Structure 1
């Protein structure tokens, strides 16, 4: 018998063992990321100390509100995130979600691996008597990615064990770093930094929303273990939001104090070096496990006959090429552009479909039937794809200028961006288009098993976990 969580089949309610506390620590741990520090570091020099504090808090509170809604599908039915996309996009259309997830995973795991290696090297040089050797950074990075992979190969449920054991400690260390940063001497130094005004509040909101959206592909991979939908929603929201705020504040303040953007660089310049390095090294190791598992399950949704262990290795190892990346900050920004353009509109359509058209019900068995009610047109739902494309066009018009490419830069769009941002409006438009178009089209034609279809003779949706 396969260990629970190593296949794409629904997890029965009796086998879902993740309660509120374990899920809370899991999602707290999800945002115990070096890249979460880098969110605050990205905009703090432009807006100054007080705006950084205020906007970091309110932008994260808003960003994760709707993101946590997406966790309900997998929590209700015990299915993986990609399987939960099939009622909206079709059996084959959900493959695009896999491509997005793997792309995000590839970037995040690569950046985290590189940062863990850099930090481990700093620890050995600073606290190990200057110990160094040729290729040490590469060796440390490879060790950093190997440890979580071993845990995943044994049993994915060890992700919860890792979270419960390590993340409370790392969160406490981060709070200690925040305490050190707000001491009078450091506070005065940060407050004296004059803002560059290169970006404003809309950019801060955009960055926080895009970073939150990057979690959408992963929510179902872990919330399918949840004992209840209530646990899934509130733990995801509170855990991700709390750490988004805490780490964003620490990253932004540290950058204001030191002028450095990457955590391994600023950690050595403030009087919290070792605690910061411990968070970077061991926190990244645990988070790599959480992210990699989400990618593995996505690939298995397309190739269910592949061995779980082989997919785990195949997904994780290529990310090591980021060890040789010249600028992790640039790579971080490119990943968020990718997320805002593709993941935002794509998942917005699915969320709108689940809540407004399906009334939180779909047929789980049909999610595994290639010739069933979610076949649509050759396995694809044209209405969902069209709605996603509309959202992408909106994003390009508003936020294309951030790519630095003149072909995607629009003066009027950039002006509107400073009022609206890009990812959130694109998500709203794509979801709204699908609700309107879906209501009109599927009320006339028998596709997707919608209960309001006049010609629908199929199962209208079941409220079962398997």
Structure 2
């Protein structure tokens, strides 16, 4: 018999054991990782110390406000994120969400694995008496990805245990690093750095929103264990936001102080080396478990007969190619472009559908029926796909210049970007187009489980997972 959470079947209410504290530490842990440091590092040299502090706080508060809304579908019905996308996109249309999630997963897990290996090597050289050997970086990286995979293979619920045990310690270490950074001599040094003005406030907002959007594919994988929707929303919002702000500030300040962008590099130049390395090495191990599990569930949504353990191994191994990546900063930037263009509009449509058309109701049984009401047109909802494509076009027009490719660069669009950013407007447009088109088309053709009565709700909204 499979352990709870090792299949794509709904989790009954009686088996949902994640309360507020467990979920809070889990989502805090989601952003307790060194790529969150790199968000602040990316823009701090361009805008300077005080703007970095103000914009990091504001942008994260704004970004995660709407992101946490997406956690409600899985929390209410106890189903995985990709399964919860089927009422919106159709049985087959949800596969695109799998492609996005797996693509993000390869990048994030790969970067985390490589940075954990770099940091472990620094620890051994700096604090281990100069100990080093041929291939040590590769060995440390492989150990870093192996530990969380073992935990997942035993029981995915160990992710909550890992979070409760490790992340409070890592957060305390990060607060200590922040305390060291704001000491008068360091503060004065950071304040004296002249901004390069290569990017502005809109870019900062774009970066924080895109990084927040990267969590959308993973929310349902863990919030399906939530005891209530309230627990799922507030813990995801508060946990991700708090750590996004804390780590963004530390990363930005450390880069201003040292000129280095990657955490393993700046950690060795300031008097917080060991705490920073501990966060990087062990924090990444726990986060890799969190990310990989989301990817495993996504693959199982397409191939439910595959063994959980085999999928876990198959998903983790390809990420090791990033150990040999020359520039992790470049990889980080490309992943965020990928997220903004594809994940933002795609999940915006699902959020709009759940709240504004379905009024938070859909039929769980039909999510598993390939010939049911969520079949739409050969398994795809054309209205949802069209709305997503409209949002993607908006993103390319506004933010295509960030790719560096002239074919996707528009002068007027770039000018508007500096006022609007790209990902958030694209999401708003996708959601708005879907709501308007959906109310017109679905009310006429009556498919997909929609039934617009005076109360404007769906007819099939019983929580079958209960």
Measured against aligned partners, the alpha-carbon deviations of 1:5-55 in whole angstroms (never above 9, x if no partner) come to 000000000000000000000000010011000000000000000000000
Q: What TM-score, normalized by structure 2, do the two folds share?
A: 0.99
Shift of 1:202: 0.1
Q: Is the 8 A contact 2:359 2:457 kept in 1?
A: no
Task: Tell me the distance in 2 between the aligned counterparts of 1:297 and 1:68.
Answer: 20
Number of equivalent positions: 466
Q: Is the 8 A contact 1:446 1:453 kept in 2?
A: no
Q: Structure 1 residues 458 and 414, CA, compared in 2 at 3 Å: closer, same or farther?
A: closer
Task: Tell me the distance in 2 between the aligned counterparts of 1:460 and 1:232.
Answer: 23
Q: Structure 1 residues 361 and 457, CA, compared in 2 at 3 Å: closer, same or farther?
A: closer
Task: Tell me the distance in 2 between the aligned counterparts of 1:175 and 1:455.
Answer: 49
Q: Is the 8 A contact 1:341 1:392 kept in 2?
A: yes
Measured against aligned partners, the alpha-carbon deviations of 1:302-345 in whole angstroms (never above 9, x if no partner) come to 00000000000000010000000000000000000000000000
5+ unaligned residues in a row in structure 2: which ranges?
Answer: none
Q: Is the 8 A contact 1:396 1:408 kept in 2?
A: yes
Q: Is the 8 A contact 1:444 1:455 kept in 2?
A: no
Q: Structure 1 residues 428 and 455, CA, compared in 2 at 3 Å: closer, same or farther?
A: closer
Task: Tell me the distance in 2 between the aligned counterparts of 1:326 and 1:270.
Answer: 24
Runs of 4+ in 1 over 4 A off after TM superposition: 453-459
Q: Structure 1 residues 460 and 454, CA, compared in 2 at 3 Å: closer, same or farther?
A: farther
Shift of 1:451: 1.8
Shift of 1:446: 2.4
Task: Tell me the distance in 2 between the aligned counterparts of 1:35 and 1:271.
Answer: 20
Measured against aligned partners, the alpha-carbon deviations of 1:437-459 in whole angstroms (never above 9, x if no partner) come to 00000001121110217999995
Q: Is the 8 A contact 1:366 1:374 kept in 2?
A: yes
Q: Is the 8 A contact 1:88 1:384 kept in 2?
A: yes
- 2:49 aligned with 1:52: no
- 2:238 aligned with 1:238: yes
Q: Is the 8 A contact 2:44 2:253 kept in 1?
A: yes
Shift of 1:464: 3.7
Measured against aligned partners, the alpha-carbon deviations of 1:88-117 in whole angstroms (never above 9, x if no partner) come to 000000000000000000000000000000
Query: 1:210 maps to what in 2?
Result: 210
Task: Tell me the distance in 2 between the aligned counterparts of 1:256 and 1:211.
Answer: 21
Q: Is the 8 A contact 1:28 1:242 kept in 2?
A: yes
Shift of 1:460: 2.9
Task: Tell me the distance in 2 between the aligned counterparts of 1:455 and 1:149.
Answer: 47
Shift of 1:463: 3.3
Query: 1:358 maps to what in 2?
Result: 358
Q: Is the 8 A contact 1:449 1:461 kept in 2?
A: no
Task: Tell me the distance in 2 between the aligned counterparts of 1:455 and 1:23.
Answer: 33
Q: Structure 1 residues 110 and 457, CA, compared in 2 at 3 Å: closer, same or farther?
A: closer
Shift of 1:163: 0.2
Q: Is the 8 A contact 2:452 2:458 kept in 1?
A: no
Q: Structure 1 residues 446 and 171, CA, compared in 2 at 3 Å: closer, same or farther?
A: same
Q: Structure 1 residues 353 and 446, CA, compared in 2 at 3 Å: closer, same or farther?
A: same
Shift of 1:360: 0.4
Q: Is the 8 A contact 1:442 1:453 kept in 2?
A: no
Query: 1:458 maps to what in 2?
Result: 458
Q: Structure 1 residues 173 and 455, CA, compared in 2 at 3 Å: closer, same or farther?
A: closer
Q: Is the 8 A contact 2:365 2:464 kept in 1?
A: no
Measured against aligned partners, the alpha-carbon deviations of 1:36-85 in whole angstroms (never above 9, x if no partner) come to 00000000000000000000000000000000000000000000000000
Q: Is the 8 A contact 1:373 1:458 kept in 2?
A: no
Shift of 1:435: 0.2
| 3-state DSSP of counterpart to 1:444 | helix
Task: Tell me the distance in 2 between the aligned counterparts of 1:97 and 1:308.
Answer: 19
Task: Tell me the distance in 2 between the aligned counterparts of 1:371 and 1:59.
Answer: 43
Map 1:383-422 to 2 at 5 A. Answer: 383-422=383-422
Task: Tell me the distance in 1 between the aligned counterparts of 2:458 and 2:160.
Answer: 39
Shift of 1:249: 0.1
Task: Tell me the distance in 1 between the aligned counterparts of 2:27 and 2:36.
Answer: 13
| 3-state DSSP of counterpart to 2:240 | helix
Task: Tell me the distance in 2 between the aligned counterparts of 1:246 and 1:166.
Answer: 17
Q: Structure 1 residues 457 and 71, CA, compared in 2 at 3 Å: closer, same or farther?
A: closer
Shift of 1:465: 2.7
| 3-state DSSP of counterpart to 2:57 | helix
| 3-state DSSP of counterpart to 2:459 | coil
Task: Tell me the distance in 1 between the aligned counterparts of 2:281 and 2:353.
Answer: 40
5+ unaligned residues in a row in structure 1: which ranges?
Answer: none
Measured against aligned partners, the alpha-carbon deviations of 1:338-380 in whole angstroms (never above 9, x if no partner) come to 0000000000000000000000000000000000000000000
Q: What TM-score, normalized by structure 1, do the two folds share?
A: 0.99
| 3-state DSSP of counterpart to 2:456 | coil
Measured against aligned partners, the alpha-carbon deviations of 1:103-161 in whole angstroms (never above 9, x if no partner) come to 00000000000000000000000000100000000000000000000000000000000
Measured against aligned partners, the alpha-carbon deviations of 1:280-315 in whole angstroms (never above 9, x if no partner) come to 000000000000000000000000000000000000
| 3-state DSSP of counterpart to 2:445 | coil
Q: Is the 8 A contact 1:445 1:453 kept in 2?
A: no
